[in-house]
A and B are shown apart, each in its own frame.
Chain A
């Protein structure tokens, strides 16, 4: 024992000494001391944090690292781009600690919901001021996606990729309900529920009551969350149309046509398993599911259709990522060059081949032509809206979820729940 203790001690001391000697520099890759004022004089390395690494599926990172970045570097001599993959669930945490210690990269592929929050804290650079030709790019992209970059009169990023939710169903489900087509309106959905009553298949399933889940229904019902200027929610979120839309879902829930997965039962079957397995008839989901279902349920042939239309039309919710530049970057010109590159057709179409829907309308049309799979999503995107673009968007999600759960479970009315939620959202809006 004495010998192994001594050995352990000696080993660790030697190892520590080796480490100390080997890595005394410990430099951070973002600081480039040799950077001058002009953009292409001194060689510049841009660091980009992103979440393109899709688990073990390297398709997206391969396109980025093997095709797109080399192409950019070839056309911009003197600029190298270093892409660093961060686990998707942890990127926000890493951005937060990075902002606190001034250790941020030059470019970030940010979730659309974070831009307003980080912009309001001063973490991001306003691209409409850093780029003279900003409006060219702004005009070329989807308005709903662009709107997620807005804060306090400026735009702090540009859309990088987008997606939305559409109705997904299966032939088996349609047959069970005796329908020849997916339900196209609220009434169709309710009729489907009646047809499926007593059968072992739920009409509709979703996994929560946050904005991502409930807003397509509210908007399609003709309701709104707030007024156009983001000053008040009361009167909109708890307006008659919003209440009616949510009431429809609550009625379906009470009938048993919607499983309690929607009120947060993590023990219930997920939507991605329940639809192919025949437990659920319809769900709302996005273009990423194609590859997942192809791998897990190769026999399954999903049918994509627009979100059922209510009095407000068929309106879905915008998702996706934006490209942003932290304000602390020391290579603003080079970084904006890369941002321009991401808006090019070359970039957008290349990424489209690996499941990233283009944000530039012209590229979007081309992609939909090349791969008809994207057509329903592109159509839905034309009218899709973003969730509230305020710094406290995550709190809005908690408010919606917390207030609506009792409404579904029957302990309170939909009107009361939405009024209470609206009041809390008012408080957030007035503090902005």
Chain B
């Protein structure tokens, strides 16, 4: 009905009512993105951004918990304290080690399993549920279970010694820093594989089968097909998973709290457990906020760097 071959302005000149409609549509068009943004944006700004700003503000004060108490402004003192605090640096190192140990396996194994589970055969849903089960089990329960698994006389040592015959099963996993971090990372990997598997499952649906078939006919083997067809197609998902897992890795909290409590002697303290201790045990919210701000900045820088590496999916306007 609408003759879209002739310019809008010409059409408007010929039909005044159409001109009004066209202008209304243009104005409405300009407002459209904001209308789509509005509900989520209002909630996000009001309930997340505003508290973020307040928490940021807290870090510059010797913040008093009691409502209505006056807090002393101390400028960058909390940040200076963090810089000189060996526990802060150790926490940062431990969070980083945890992230480095737990993220690559989750990405690789998650993708591998997703590729094995992307077809429509009837056994697939069963497997999908099984791999997803760790994701839905509560952190409290699994941390306790893994603590018992890695106990001096736990299942892992027994399996290593009696089943796999690797060593004598006398590793005291949770009594020293590095072995404890390995145990905690094992928990993180085990619990997280199902999550990245799900993202990749969804993403693999968008891989063009036509390209895959073309590559197959060109004689490409499985690895080549994967590299040339699959990876580019799931690039946004890959970026998303890696960014999210890095963020999650630095934010590890419950598993450390329940498996080692940050011990022995604070050796496995991570940034968030230290932050929680400062804020909710010592009631020093100014310092706790400063630690949180520093953590956020580190994660932000890392995430922006990663996204720049993955930028250029070619799908979005710059």
Query: Touching in the complex, A and B, CB below 8 A?
Result: yes
Q: Give chain A's interface residues, CB within 8 Å of chain B.
A: 92-93, 96, 99-102, 117, 121-123, 260, 263-269, 328, 392, 394-395, 398, 401-402, 405-406
- Chosen A-B contacts, 13 in total, with CB atoms closer than 8 Å, are A93-B280, A99-B65, A102-B67, A121-B283, A122-B66, A264-B260, A265-B152, A266-B147, A267-B150, A267-B151, A267-B172, A395-B282, A405-B265
**Given A92-B280, A266-B263, A267-B154, A121:B69 Cβ within 8 A:** yes
Give the CA-CA distance A232 to B122 in the complex, in Å: 73
B 257-283 to A, binary, CB cutoff 8 A, 1 in contact else 0: 001110111100000000001001111
Nearest B residue to A263, CB-CB: B264
Q: Report the bound CA distance from A406 to B266 in whole Å.
A: 12
- Which residues of chain B are near A102, meaning CB under 8 Å? 67-68
Q: Is B64 an interface residue (CB 8 A)?
A: yes
User: CB-CB < 8 A to B283: which residues of A?
Assistant: 96, 117, 121
Is B175 interfacial (CB 8 A cutoff)?
Answer: yes
Complex Cα distance A402/B266, Å?
7
Decide yes or no: A92 and B281 within 8 Å by CB, A263-B264, A265-B152 being known contacts.
yes
Report B127 CB to chain A, min CB distance, Å: 23
New A-B pairs, 20, CB < 8 Å, besides A117-B283, A267-B147, A267-B150: A92-B280, A93-B280, A96-B283, A99-B67, A100-B66, A121-B64, A121-B65, A123-B65, A260-B175, A264-B260, A265-B174, A265-B175, A266-B174, A266-B260, A266-B264, A267-B172, A268-B152, A268-B175, A402-B265, A406-B265
Q: Which residue of A is nearest B149, CB measured?
A: A267
Q: A264-B264, A265-B264, A401-B265 in contact; A121/B173 too (CB < 8 A)?
A: no
Interface string of B282-317 (1 = CB under 8 A from A): 110000000000000000000000000000000000
Assess whether A264 is in contact with B67, with CB atoms less than 8 Å apart: no
Query: Bound complex: CA of A395 vs CA of B282, how far in Å?
Result: 7
In angstroms, Cα B173 to Cα A266, docked, is 9
Most buried by A among B67, B265, B280: B265
CB-defined contacts of B68 to chain A, threshold 8 Å? 102
Inter-chain contacts of B261 with A (CB < 8 A): 264, 266
5 closest A-B pairs (Cβ-Cβ)?
A: A264-B264, A265-B175, A264-B263, A267-B174, A405-B265
By beta carbon, the residue of chain A nearest B64 is: A121
Query: B152 touching A121 by the CB < 8 A rule?
Result: no
Residue B153 is within 8 A (CB to CB) of chain A in the complex: yes
Least Cβ–Cβ distance between A173 and chain B, in angstroms = 19
